[in-house]
Structure 1
C-alpha cells in the first residue's frame, strides 16, 4: 500500500495498521482541503486577512500554503500522527507578517500533527493548536489568486522541457508575482478576452546558475508583451504570439 492510501484512510485505520482504502473514502484521495477554523488552546487563532490554510496530499507528497509561500514535504503516517520529512518552504519576498504565518504553518506541519478524518473534514492537531479543514469540490481553478507551478515550457516543433520548482506565478487583480527560477518577478498583468497583457515586469538581481538563467529567459520569452491563456481544471497554458508556451499546474 502506498503512503497516500495510508494517509487518506485516516479514520478507517487501526492504531498502527494501515487498512485498505474503503470505497466510501475513495473521493478523499488527491483532494484539496481548506481551513474553516484555526484555534489555539480553544480560542480562535486569526490568520492574516484574505488568507486560509490550503493542503493537499498526493502520492506521498504534501503541498500546503497559507496565502504566501508554498510548503512542500514528504509525508507518511505512524499510528495517529502524520510523519512529515524533507520539508521545504519557498522564499518569495512576502512581507514580515506573511513570513511569520508561513513559518508558523511550516512548524506546525513539521511537528507531525495528530489527525482525524470524518467524511470530507480533516482535523490536524499539535499540542493546543488545531486546524480544521474541509474538502473542496473539484472544479476549475480561477486564474486569479491560484498558485500556478511551472511544469514545463515549450517552443513550436520541439518537445516540452521540464520546469523547476519553485518557478511559479500568482495573478491578482491586474498584477503578477512569482518566481522565475532563481529570481523573483513582479509587474502588471491585465486580463482581456482570453489573453493577458504583461507590462513593467521587473525582477530581483540574484546571482544565478546557468540552468536557472536559461529557464528565466524561456519564461520571459512568453511573458513579454501579450500571451493567450487556456485554463482547464487545474492546468494553465500561457502562449506567446510566436508559439512559445508555459505549462503550469495548480497544487490545490
Structure 2
C-alpha cells in the first residue's frame, strides 16, 4: 500500500564555505532556509505559483518541502559530507503538478548536491541545477498556512502518546486539510482568537493499517466542535471539547 515512498540512499553533500573551508552542520542547524532563486543551466527554473522550497536541519533530521509533501530523513556528518539516510516522502494527494515538483526536489536531494553556506545564504547544486536559499529569522509560526506535523496525542489524565504514523494538518482560511500516511482529510475549520470551530471533517476511503486508523480516530476525536488552541513558537496544542488533545510541531 502507498504509505511512504522510500527514496534510495542519498549520496553525500559536499560541504564548504565560500572561502573553501569545510562547513559544519552546526552552521545551518536549527535554522529555516527558504529559496530565493532556482536555476537550471543558468536559466530560471520556475516553481509552481505560490510555492517556495524550505529546508531545515534539526536534531539530526532534515526536512524539506516545496509547497506539497514533506521530504524527511536522518542526517549524519561524515568528513566533509552530509549523509542523509532513511529518506521518505509523505504521500498526501496534492495533485499531479505538485507531485511532480515534490519528486523533482526529492531527486535533487537524492543526487547529492554540493553546498556552500555564507552568512545567511545557503547554495545547493547538482550538475546544472542550483537552489539558492536565504535564512529566515526565527519567529512564532502563524496558525494559518503552516505545515503542522502531529507529534503526539493524549487523553485527559494520561500522558501524551507518540504519533507513530506520519500525519500533518494545514489550516487555510475557513478549512483544514491534512493527511495521515494513508488517507487525506479535509473539512471546515473557522479560526477565532483562541479557538477553532471544526465540522464536516471527512477523509478519503483507502484501506489502511491499524496504526493509521487509530491516529485518524484520535484526530477526529479532537477536531469536532469548538477546539481550543495554544500556539507557542513552533508548537501547537489542540484540545477538543472532551479534553482530548493533539500536539503538533512546525518543521519549518
Fold-level similarity (TM above 0.5): yes
CA 1:165–1:123: 2 relative to 1, 3 Å:
farther
Residue in 2 aligned with 1:178? 178
Residue in 2 aligned with 1:86? 86
Report if the CA contact (8 A) 1:82-1:115 is conserved: no
Report if the CA contact (8 A) 2:196-2:226 is conserved: yes
Q: Distance in 1 between matches of 2:157 and 2:147?
A: 28
More helix by share: 1
Q: Distance in 2 between matches of 1:114 and 1:90?
A: 25
Count the aligned residue pairs: 239
Q: How does 1:108-187 map to 2 (within 5 A)?
A: 108-187=108-187
Q: What's the offset of the Cα at 1:18?
A: 7.3
Residue in 2 aligned with 1:11? 17
Report if the CA contact (8 A) 2:62-2:75 is conserved: yes
Report if the CA contact (8 A) 1:181-1:216 is conserved: no
Q: Deviations over 1:55-98 (max 9, x none)?
A: 00123321000000000112345566543332211110011110
Task: Answer with 190-199 or 115-124: which moved more.
Answer: 190-199
Q: Distance in 2 between matches of 1:19 and 1:148?
A: 28
SS at match of 1:140: coil
Q: Does 1:30 align with 2:30?
A: yes
Q: Does 1:190 align with 2:196?
A: no
The answer for unaligned runs of 5 or more in structure 2 is: 1-12
The answer for unaligned runs of 5 or more in structure 1 is: 1-6
Task: Answer with 224-233 or 179-188: which moved more.
Answer: 179-188
Q: Deviations over 1:177-219 (max 9, x none)?
A: 1114532101111112211111221101121222322221111
Name which structure has the greater RCO, CA cutoff 8 Å, separation 6+.
2
Q: TM-score, normalised by structure 1?
A: 0.88
Q: How does 1:201-240 map to 2 (within 5 A)?
A: 201-240=201-240
